[in-house]
Chains A and B, each alone.
Chain A
Amino acid sequence: MLSSGPLRSASRGPIPIDARAADHLRYIRETMENAAEFTAVPGWGGVAMGVTALAAAFFAARQTAPRAWLTVWLMEAFVAVAIAAPAARTKAHRANASLFSGPGRKFVLSFAPPIVVGGMLTFALYRAGAFAVLPGVWLLLYGTAIVTGGAFSVRIVPVMGLCLMLLGAIALFTPRMWGDILMAAGFGIVQIGFGWWIAKHHGG
Chain B
Amino acid sequence: MARSSTAHQERSQRSRDREAVLETVRNPAHERVPGDVDRVIHERIRLGIVSALAVNRALSFPELKALLKTSDGNLSVHARRLEEAEYLSCTKTFDGRQPKTEYKLTAAGRRALERYLNHMEALIRATRER
The residues of A with any CB-CB pair to B shorter than 8 Å are: 2, 4-6, 14, 16-18, 20-22, 24-25, 27-28, 31-32, 34-37, 97
Contacts and interface: CB of A to CB of B under 8 A. Distances in A.
A22 B124 contact: yes
B51 A32 contact: yes
Contacts of A27: 44, 47-48, 51
Interface in B16-40: 24-25, 28, 31, 34
Contact of A32 (B34, B55, B70, B124): B55
A18 B55 contact: no
Contact of A6 (B28, B44, B51): B44
Nearest to A37: B56
A31 B63 CA distance: 13
What does DSSP make chain A's interface, helix, strand, loop or mixed? helix
B60 interface: no
Contact of A35 (B56, B69, B117, B124): B56
Interface residues of B, number: 28
A13 to B, nearest CB: 13
What does DSSP make chain B's interface, helix, strand, loop or mixed? helix
Contacts of A22: 120, 124
Nearest to A30: B51
Contact of B44 (A4, A14, A37): A4
Nearest to A22: B124
Contacts of B121: 21, 25
B3 interface: no
A18 B127 contact: yes
Given A17-B123, A21-B123, A5 B31 contact: no
A16 B123 CA distance: 11
A35 B55 contact: yes
Given A16-B127, A31-B51, A2 B69 contact: yes
B68 interface: yes
A6 B33 CA distance: 13
Nearest to A33: B55
